[in-house]
């Protein structure tokens, strides 16, 4: 039986998928218009990526929850 609530597991899955679709940053000085690019720059993997920050918050979880999540992967 899982000790971690399903809502938390769903959250982790959602955030890891968001993180997984990140692409390498492109030239910031390209002069490209975000509207013309369909705002794809939001998918760029930068140091201030909020999804990365949310996933590192998992370090605050207890050892049992971390082990359980790793076992599910």
* CA 27 to chain CA centroid, nearest Å: 22
Q: What backbone torsions phi and psi does residue 49 show, to the nearest 5 degrees?
A: -60, 115
CA-nearest of 12, 29, 28 to 20 is: 12
- pTM higher than 0.95: no
Q: What is the pLDDT along the chain (73 residues), one digit of tens a residue?
A: 888 888 988 888 888 887 777 777 666 666 566 555 555 556 666 667 777 778 887 888 888 888 888 888 7
The residue ranges of every structural domain in the chain are 6-22+35-72
Query: At 53, is the secondary structure helix, strand, or coil?
Result: helix
């Amino acid at each position: 039986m899982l000790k971690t609530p399903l809502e938390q597991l769903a959250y982790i899955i959602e955030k890891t998928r968001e993180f997984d679709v990140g692409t390498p940053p492109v030239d910031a000085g390209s002069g490209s218009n975000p509207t013309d690019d369909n705002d794809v720059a939001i998918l760029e993997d930068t140091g201030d990526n909020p999804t990365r920050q949310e996933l590192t918050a998992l370090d605050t979880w207890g050892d049992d929850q971390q082990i359980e999540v790793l076992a599910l992967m």
